[in-house]
Structure 1
Amino acid sequence: MEGKFKTVNSSRVTISQLMLPSYTNFSGKIHGGYLLSLLDQIAFACASKYSGNYCVTASVDTVNFLAPIEVGELVTLKASVNYVGNSSMIVGIRVEAENIQTGKVKHCNSSYFTMVAKDENGKNTKVPGLIIKNQDEVRRFYNCLKQIATKKEFDKYEEAFDYKSDEALLALKEHNVKVELN
């Protein structure tokens, strides 16, 4: 892969599926778990298409459920690679639901998955560099850089913070929690 670059457009994948009653939760809306399965499938397809390798989900970074999806709506998932590292890619996914009777389309979900390319032996393998061609692609790439930095800060904070200290336990009293440690 040394020196190879690909465009964001070369990663784009779109999947559409009619929502059936068997996909619903107890309130009659499409189950979030079912949608997560579709999100993972399109993230895999997008990352594999871009990298030319089998890819695995390293993390589900963001899943924002913005509007419920109804039975009978046509759901379209649109994915593209927004960021590449050495062997990793951040795939952005937009989910829209269309009422096929009225034609009304609503934005239902935005998600970001970190995918990692694997070689035939299951080892991480290098992915092509990313060619960015417009301001939206620049914005998405920068947002991924911010997302990565935030994740690293959170990990650092998790490692350094002493949850057992008297100070930490006292600070919990400011929240709607009662601490009863044995």
Structure 2
Amino acid sequence: MSELVMPNDTNPQNNLMGGNLLRWMDIACAICAGKHTNRPVVTASVDNVAFGSPIRNGEVVTLEATVTRAFNTSLEIYVEATAATMQGANPRRTHHAYFTFVALDKDNGSPVAIPEIIPLTEIEEQRYAGAMRRRELRLVLAGRMKPDQASHLREIFGQ
């Protein structure tokens, strides 16, 4: 997905406002999640947003979203933003984040089971493996899991 940064998208420093970028990231991730699940989806969480270099008025932002892992009714999406001139010159990675979505039943809106993914490349395998730790961290921080139940997180610390 690509967006052209217009004057109404920018702050007084002539840079893209973070909230606008987050909105575009959410849309790109929702499209990705909806394609994977073939269901309506809703955003459950956003974490690890890394704001890199500023994106200037007149630049083109390209967002690439991929499913990192599917759980029972939720899935994690990694999104990366790059910016470049309208002609494609000077491309650079500017931001990235992880979003979590929940797939919904089309009729009653309740969460439904979704298909698993199979990582194929080395980076997909790394993101797939890390997704369980990120999920546990989200659940612990939200108070939905006790820290001593986060077995994948404990592995990092040798416990």
Relative to the length of structure 1, the TM-score reads 0.74
- Going from structure 1 to structure 2, the CA distance change for 1:130 and 1:159 (only over 3 Å counts) comes to closer
Alignment counterpart, residue 90 of structure 1, candidates 70, 76, 88: 76
Report the alpha carbon displacement of residue 25 of structure 1 after superposing the two structures with TM.
1.1
> What displacement does 1:101 show?
5.0
Greater RCO structure (CA 8 Å; 6+ sep): 1
2 CA distance for matches of 1:41 and 1:49? 12
Q: CA deviation at 1:62?
A: 2.1
Match of 1:134 among 100, 112, 121: 121
Shift of 1:129: 1.1
CA RMSD of aligned residues (A): 2.1
Amino-acid identity (%) = 32
User: How many angstroms apart in 2 are the aligned matches of 1:159 and 1:85?
Assistant: 19
Residues 41-60 of structure 1 mapped to structure 2, 5 A cutoff: 41-60=27-46
> How far apart are the structure 1 equivalents of 2:74 and 2:146?
23
Q: Distance in 2 between matches of 1:116 and 1:155?
A: 16
> Taking structure 2 as the reference length, what is the TM-score of the superposition?
0.85
Q: Does 2:7 correspond to 1:21?
A: yes
Is contact 2:69–2:116 with CA below 8 Å preserved after alignment? no
Tell me if the contact between 2:140 and 2:146 (Cα under 8 Å) persists in the aligned partners.
no
Corresponding position: 1:144 with 2:141: no
Structure 1: distance between partners of 2:137 and 2:45: 14
The correspondence for 1:63, drawn from 33, 49, 53, is 49
The Cα offsets for residues 151-171 of structure 1, whole Å up to 9 and x where unpaired, read as: 344456x989xxxxxxxxxxx
Larger radius of gyration: 1
Tell me which moved more, 110-119 or 145-154: 145-154
The number of residue pairs the alignment matches comes to 146
SS of 1:151's partner is helix
Tell me the distance in 2 between the aligned counterparts of 1:122 and 1:100: 40
Q: Aligned-pair distance for 1:127? A: 0.6
How much has 1:100 moved relative to structure 2? 3.0
1:134 counterpart letter in structure 2? T
Unaligned runs of 5+ in 1: 1-14, 161-182
Q: Which runs of 5+ in 2 are unaligned?
A: 148-159
